[in-house]
Amino acid sequence: MLDEHEHSLRGVETSEHNPDLCGPEGTVYSVDPLKVAAKNHPLVAGTKVHLLTFGCQMNKYDSEMVAGLLGERGAAFVENPEDAGLLIMNTCSVRGHAEDRVYNRLHLLKERKRREPGFTIAVMGCMAQKEGEQIAKKFPWVDLIVGTRMLDEFPRLLERVREGTPTPLLAIETKPDVKFGETVARRENKFMAYLTVMRGCNKRCTYCVVPYTRGPEVSRRITDIVAEARRLVADGVLEIMLLGQTIDTYGYDLGGDNTLWKLLRELHAIEGLKRIRFITSHPEECREELFSTMHELRDKVMPFIHMPPQSGSDRMLRRMARGYRRERYLEVVRAARERCPEIEFCGDWIVGFSGETDQDFEASLTLMEEVGFQFSYVFKYSVREGTPAQNLDDDVPEEIKKERHARLTELQERISLQRNQAKIGRIEEVLVDGPSKHDSSRLTGRTRSFQLMHFPGTPELVGQIVRVKVTQATPLSLSGELI
């Protein structure tokens, strides 16, 4: 998935069924048949909520849906955590420092809970799934711990806490799917929405914790996805970003002719929906048919692909169990550019993975250069407990990881600047998001290939697709003039 930050949600900072997963202070929550909880439940209505999200877009989507569920039941959202009666942290386990940030906050909350016993603290998402028992033991002032496949039960679990069920209430069973029903996400961005089309992952990249925090791959049915997309469009959404860990395998578990390109066709037919994007692509699973479909449906399906190489070295790719070689990655890029000439690439890279030599690292530098990515996210390898790579030596010293991180980032900035400068004079279609954060006389939006664009303009253009001539470029953004 793309960026990894702490997010605030609109005015708000943003396996197996295993009933034994419960610490001594925790309470096992067993799954009741899904009932539709009463709207405006008295134990939720009026609750002031502060929801803080760590991690990727999938977490953002989950946060927005949980916020939607709570909003439907009468909860209100507040910007300042000090004003909240309920603090929710949606957590990420992909790298160690994301977990450390949550642990630090949990320590700090002990004193507040002592002062205000009625203040409710909830931890949800990947850390809740992976570390739920430990969190219940170490932080008994937490009230509610909700794993990745129990998020649709959040309001009912909260009601139980408010009814006096002993806490921490631990809900980390792995149901096959999460069903948010007809809830509309409470979104940070009015015009752009995330839409999770599949959960979990069937790959086993040796460094990655996701298959263990999110479970096996489960695709949603096309009819359900289309229905959710229609609700979003009725709510003012113009652009949808479809989410899946290896989105190219969408539908494999459903069988029949369910594929990503079929899904794109069905979504393309929705009147009022202007733009469709999807992430994340896996180099081994990406099919040529996808690129032909992107080109055919290019009025709505945007020419952007997030396909992480992770490394340019075949030796590293093997150790990571990525299932492809450098040459395969390049073949996919060539096929994509041939069939969909407008396409731009975004990548994720891990530096300092176990056993990475200078030569292996050089191979990442040359692959980055050869492909010419529009932008990249570069991560220092972080050992994750429970992953196969935990048994490999974390033998690249931190100093070298830092240096490689800096070199790869610098190279990407140079490539991005060159590519962006080459766009000067071109006309780009931009979906206007809102006023610029730094200068209210300017607007910002995204181009078709997800590039950030700044330009002078007035607020009535927000939510429209406009044409902007590029006049300036930096590595991270373009500036231009309306035409």
Distance CA 448, CA 429 (A): 6
273's tokens: 């929906």
Residue type for position 280: T
Beta carbon nearer to ligand SAM, 15 or 183: 15
Among 122, 161, 201, 290, binds ligand SF4 (CB under 6 A): 201
Q: Round to whole Å and give the CA distance between 286 and 340.
A: 14
Choose which of 47, 245, 311, 444 interacts with ligand SF4 (CB under 6 A). 245
Number of residues that bind ligand SF4 (CB under 6 A): 9
The beta strands (E) that lie in 327-459 are given as: 344-351, 375-380, 427-435, 442-446, 452-456
Residue 339: helix, strand or coil by DSSP?
helix
DSSP string, 442-473: EEEEE-TTS-EEEEE--GGGTTSEEEEEEEEE
Contacts of 318 (CB under 8 A, 6+ apart): none
* Sheet containing 304-306: order of strands: 304-306, 344-351, 375-380
Nearer to ligand SAM, 207 or 455 (CB): 207
Query: Which one of 210, 273, 279, 453 is in contact with ligand SF4 (CB under 6 A)?
Result: 210
Confirm or reject binding of residue 324 to ligand SAM (CB under 6 A).
no
Q: Which is nearer to ligand SF4, 308 or 457 (CB)?
A: 308
Interhelix angle 57-72/154-163, nearest 10 degrees:
60
Would you call 304 helix, strand, or coil by DSSP? strand
Rounded Cα distance between 483 and 470, Å, is: 10
Answer yes or no whether residue 208 interacts with ligand SAM by CB under 6 A. yes
Tell me which of 56, 69, 157, 290 binds ligand SAM, using CB under 6 A.
Answer: 56
Which one, 73 or 306, has the nearer CB to ligand SAM? 306
Handedness of CA 303, 304, 308, 312 (dihedral sign): positive
Q: Among 91, 206, 310, 479, which residue sits at the site for ligand SAM (rule: CB under 6 A)?
A: 310
Sites for ligand SAM among residues 328-367 (CB under 6 A): 348, 350
User: By CB under 6 A, which span of 100-108, 206-214, 395-403, 448-456 interacts with ligand SF4?
Assistant: 206-214
Nearer to ligand SAM among residue 246 and residue 374 (C-beta): 246
| Interaction residues for ligand SAM, span 129-168 (CB under 6 A) | none
**Using the rule CB under 6 A, which residue among 282, 300, 384, 446 binds ligand SF4?**
282
Q: Compute the 3-state secondary structure of the chain and give helix, strand, coil in percent, each to the nearest 5.
A: 35, 20, 45
- Indicate the residue among 174 and 387 with the shorter CB distance to ligand SAM: 387
**Which two tokens mark 320?**
């990571």
**Do 467 and 483 contact (CB within 8 A), yes or no?**
yes
Q: From the CB of 1, what's the least distance to ligand SAM, in Å?
A: 5
**Nearest approach, Cβ of residue 319 and ligand SAM (Å):** 13
CB atoms within 10 A of CB 182: 10
Name the residue with the smallest CB distance to ligand SAM.
348
Fill in the DSSP letter of residue 142.
-
**Residue 468 binds ligand SAM (CB under 6 A):** no
Q: 1 or 317, CB closer to ligand SAM?
A: 1
In the window 273-292, what residues touch ligand SAM (CB under 6 A)? 280, 282
Give the interface with ligand SAM as residue ranges (CB under 6 A): 1, 56, 94-95, 207-208, 210, 245-246, 280, 282, 308, 310, 348, 350, 379, 381-382, 384
Give the interface with ligand SF4 as residue ranges (CB under 6 A): 201, 203, 205, 208, 210-211, 245-246, 282
